[in-house]
Amino acid sequence: MQYSNSKYWDFGAPIAGILLTLSFAPFDYSCLAPVALAFLFACWRNGSAKRAAMRGYLFGLGAFGSGVSWVYISMHDFGGAGVFEASLLTGLFSAFWASFPALAGYLSVKINPVNKGSVRILLMPVIWILVEYLRGYWVLNGFPWLHIAYSQLATPLAGYIPVLGVYGTGFIVALTASMAVEILFGSKRLLPITVLIVLWGTGGLLRHQTWTHEIGQPLRVAMIQGNIAQDQKWRPENKISTLLKYKKMTEAHWDSNIIIWPETAIPAYLDQVNDAFLTPLGNDAKLHNTDLIISVPVQEQSPVRSFNAVITLGKEQGMYRKTHLLPFGEYLPLQPLSGFVLNKINIRLGNFTPGAVNQPLLKAGGYPFITLVCYEDVFGDVSSRGLSDAAYLVNVTNDGWFGNSIEPHQHLQMARMRAMETGRFLLRSTNTGVTAVISPKGEIINQAPLFQEVALTGTITPMGGMTPYEKWGDKPVIGVMAILLLGLMGWGKRGRPG
């Protein structure tokens, strides 16, 4: 069949990419993820490797051009770039990440030159996930945005998340798409239909499985959403009013066991506010039997370096320094080129130092917890460090950089995945939203509205035990994918077309 040689498929590829974006928050049309991938896989069935790469690239332009368009807001509205510069950089950003679906398409055809159906049905999903892993874990410190598993938090496939994580669950989504293509265009339909029924049915059953257990009494929590506009946050004349706002909102919730402030809630370095502001506040917290979790930048003098940090005050005192930094936001990769270019177009970004990987867990409410600062909540391996000793997760972030875009909703969706992978409650405190309490099943128990000053309250239960995913991590899934790829590479080059 030569249907995929039609140029109409070229025009459809970017549209399919846009459909993929619609499968994620805030749109949440989950069914569109396998539909979009099925269209893409169908594009790759009978064309050349070069044509498959081109269609993959067009798909990527549609997906990333729509799915991460919020980069423009951060650069133009808050980064100081002009309309032209911000548009150019956003376009280059999308164009770069679009190369990964192109790579997946090229390899899918190149490795299976005789187009064996028995190879093709597994090869495309395997390559898709390995390319997602390359993009999400290795390239530029990892960029896992629009990983397909995040679109399935409310479907039966969500049952696989505590078992297989984001890449294993993503493989099942991609395999669903590949099976659907075989059902539509292949000659053998019974086997793929049976496999789909088993895969989705098993996922539905796993959703009812509980992997962790309660280990203590419920804790009352309050998360302060200060709603400080990003372009006002660091103005020196606003520092005192910002501190007084957080102090006043905190004092209204001394009946909570834990009170959390969002990422860099304090617009000053720790040593500038510690004695006059934080120490007295910590003493008040201790008197009320409350623990404070506060995010504040820390500067050290010997050697001179800065950290994006979280501290605890009250009964428990400690500090966590963010380990997984945001490229082009908290540090500049590809130096000196990136620094030179950004200086030329007048964009000034942070220059933080990563903290040590194996830091002791902070404690609040009588229990240790996993600290995830902003971007860290999109990486499953970061939330796994020390999890066996942790009773819950805390994510402090500031999505004010992205305005009223789809980014805060996408980011919340990714945070929900961490709760599901770990089987623990996740407390998410943000500057402008979306602040939320998330259950171990990834359900949003309580959520604050965007761009409102509010103290979100709720109750969580300390949890213990480990999900299968947290025992194994991503390595077994990626290892199986790599072994499958090697086997399929050998099988695809033998015999006649299937």
Active site residues: 263, 322, 374
**Sign (positive or negative) of CA dihedral 358, 360, 365, 366:** positive
Separation between Cα atoms, residue 45 and residue 43, nearest integer Å: 6
Please, are residues 295 and 264 in contact by the beta-carbon 8 Å criterion? Answer: yes
Separation between Cα atoms, residue 181 and residue 47, nearest integer Å: 15
Map residue 313 onto helix, strand or coil: strand
Distance from the first to the final alpha carbon of the chain: 13
- Residue 237: burial class (beta carbons within 10 Å; 0-12, 13-18, 19+): exposed
Q: Mark 486-495 as b/e (b = at least 16 C-beta within 10 Å).
A: eebeebbeee
Strand partners, 446: 437
Separation between Cα atoms, residue 43 and residue 106, nearest integer Å: 12
AA letter at 48:
S
Q: Mark 17-45 as b/e (b = at least 16 C-beta within 10 Å).
A: bbbbbbbbbeeeebebbbbbbbbbbbbbb
Q: For residue 486, what are the contacts with CB-CB under 8 A and spacing of at least 6?
A: none
Q: Report how far apart, in Å, the C-alpha atoms of 472 and of each of 162, 196, 478 are.
A: 11, 25, 11
State both tokens at 109: 């055809």
What's the full length of the chain, in residues?
498
- Residue 5: burial class (beta carbons within 10 Å; 0-12, 13-18, 19+): exposed
